[in-house]
Amino acid sequence: MDASKKDRYFAQPFERVTPFSFNAEVAEVFDDMVTRSVPLYRENQQLTVDLLSRLLKKNDVVYDLGCSTGTVLYLLGQALKTLDLQLIGLDASAPMVEKARMKLKAFGLKNAEIEKADITQVPFLPCGAVVMNYTLQFLPVEARLPLLKKIYESLRPGGVLLLAEKIQTDAPGLQDLVTDIYYDFKGHNGYSELEISQKREALENVLIPLTPTQQTELLREAGFGPVEMLLRWGPFATFLAVK
C-alpha cells in the first residue's frame, strides 16, 4: 500500500538547513521516511484499526487529521467495510492531499474523501472517532487546546480520539538517553549521521513535543474522560482519549 520512493531527502549536505515542511519532495518519499523514522509506526496503525473495529458504530464519521498520504484511511476502509463509515482525511499540504487521493483511488476506496484544510480553521462534522497521528506536535503549542476542544465537541458520547505524538521524557535527566536510543533506531533503519543531524536541525522549533503528563493534562482540560497511553517506544507515544 506504500508506493513512495526511498527517502534520501537529507542525505546530501545542505548549505543551510531550512525549517522542515511537508513539501512536494517530502510527500514523494513520505511513506518510506515515516516508516523508517517512527518506531512501531505499522503497529500503531494496526492498533488503530483493531481499536476502532471495536468502538465504532455503523455509519460513523471518522476523521484522520494530518492524514498525509492516507494510509490509515485506506487501512480502516479495507478492514471495516461492513460498518459503512464516512472516512474524512484533512491535510494542509497540497502534495500530501494529492498523494492521499491517488492512493485511495488506486485501491478503489469509495467511502473516503481527502480535503486540503488547516485543521485549526475548519469545523468538523459530528463523528465517532478522530485519529491524529504525529500532527498535533507540529502546531503551535497555544493552538493545541482549542483544537482538542473542537475535537471533543465533535465526538459523540463514547467517541474516541487516538493521538500519536512525539514526546519528551517526564523523568528529569533521561531525555538525552532516550534521544540517543532513538537515533540508534534511525541508524539501524539506514539513516546516516548526516541525515539524522540535518533532520534534527530542520525540525528544531517546528516539532515541539510535550511530556506525557502535559499531553494527558491537555486532553483532560479539553474535556476528555478516560485517557490511556496505549503504546510507547522511547520518544513516541499513542494516547486513547474517550468522550
Ligand X SMILES: C[S@@+](CC[C@H](N)C(=O)[O-])C[C@H]1O[C@@H](n2cnc3c(N)ncnc32)[C@H](O)[C@@H]1O
Instruction: Point out which residues bind ligand X (CB under 6 A).
Output: 22, 34, 66-68, 71-72, 90-93, 96, 118-120, 133-135, 138-139
Q: Which residues contact 156 (CB under 8 A, 6 or more apart)?
A: 60, 126, 127, 128, 243
CB of 223 to ligand X, least distance (A): 21
Choose between 12 and 121: whose C-beta lies nearer to ligand X. 121
Distance separating alpha carbons of residues 175 and 64, to the nearest angstrom: 30
CB of 30 to ligand X, least distance (A): 7
Strands (E), the chain: 61-65, 86-91, 112-116, 127-133, 155-166, 227-233, 236-242
- Which residue, judged by CB position, is nearest to ligand X in the bound state? 66
CB of 135 to ligand X, least distance (A): 4
CB of 58 to ligand X, least distance (A): 25
CB of 138 to ligand X, least distance (A): 4
Choose between 141 and 177: whose C-beta lies nearer to ligand X. 141
Distance of CA 98 to the CA centre of its chain: 17
Distance separating alpha carbons of residues 162 and 243, to the nearest angstrom: 11
Choose between 93 and 154: whose C-beta lies nearer to ligand X. 93
Cell numbers found for residue 160: 474516541
Choose between 60 and 91: whose C-beta lies nearer to ligand X. 91
Cell numbers found for residue 93: 499540504
Distance of CA 215 to the CA centre of its chain: 15
Q: Among 182, 184, 171, 183, which residue's Cα sits nearest to residue 233?
A: 182
Choose between 140 and 157: whose C-beta lies nearer to ligand X. 140
C-beta separation of 7 from 73 below 8 A = no
CB of 27 to ligand X, least distance (A): 8
Choose between 7 and 91: whose C-beta lies nearer to ligand X. 91
What residue type is assigned to position 235 of the chain?
A: P
Cell numbers found for residue 64: 484522520
